[in-house]
Amino acid sequence: MKTEFYNPALTNSQNCSKKHFVRLSALWILTFILFGVPMIVDSTDVHGQEDISGSQKKLVEDYRLGAGDLVQVVVWKNEEISGEFRVRPDGKFSMPLIGDILAENSTVDGVSMQVEQKLKLFIESPYVSTIVVEAASNRIYILGEVVEPGTYAIDGSLTVLQALAIAGGFTEFAGREKMSIIRSVGETQINIPLAYSRILRNPGQKNNPVLKRGDTLVVP
């Protein structure tokens, strides 16, 4: 495999512009994946600062990768190393030259830092950008006596009551007082009992918890 070694001949200002452009592109694409709408950038801002809401920007930057996610890793001026990689069930993906990268529960910035550290053994001053192409792991499952059971993407936070709403509500025979959340904690699974009447009386965090990635809401 032929590897083009990067020799940083750009000026400091050019380097800053390059890094800002790549980072802005990554934020734009991940915002589109998570929210379904592109990030809006103010073209009149001479400093090139992103004009997105603080909450959306934080969600994009803090998104934690998981098994099944598809990421694109771009190594500046090294197309043979760059590419799209699927996170395996063990939470890792493999890249040419440097091998396995641990992606599970890491942000895209964290992945970029790992890749840069490994590439320093082969490339002088590597610059790496990572974006999420497909957020396949950001899902919950709703089963049982709801109108539309199935797999649903999580955009931000989602409570049990909100999950029931997007699943179309209960069927006629739903056991509303015997619902549960099945959640994986490490290598074990826990069962969290729920009652619809309690949620309506006091829809706080205890009775109406926020669902986490991979949770299964069961309505018997």
Residue 91 contacts residue 101 (beta carbons within 8 Å): no
Domains of the chain: 12-134 (3.30.1950.10), 139-219 (3.10.560.10)
pLDDT, residue 189, reads 93
Helix (H) or strand (E) holding 186: none
Mean pLDDT over the full length of the chain: 80
Report mean pLDDT in 10-residue bins for the chain, 220 residues. 42 48 52 45 37 48 84 95 95 96 94 96 95 87 96 84 96 97 91 96 91 94
Cα–Cα distance measured from residue 128 to residue 175, given in angstroms and rounded to the nearest whole number: 51
**Look-up: residue for tokens 């970029």?**
112
DSSP type of residue 177: G
pLDDT digits (tens, 9 = 90+) for 33-66: 554 434 333 333 333 444 444 544 555 567 889 8
Half-sphere exposure of 29 (CA within 13 A, CB side): 16
pLDDT, residue 27, reads 53
pLDDT, residue 130, reads 96
Model confidence, pTM: 0.54
Which burial class, exposed, middle or buried, applies to 130 when counting CB atoms under 10 A from its CB (0-12, 13-18, 19+)? Answer: buried
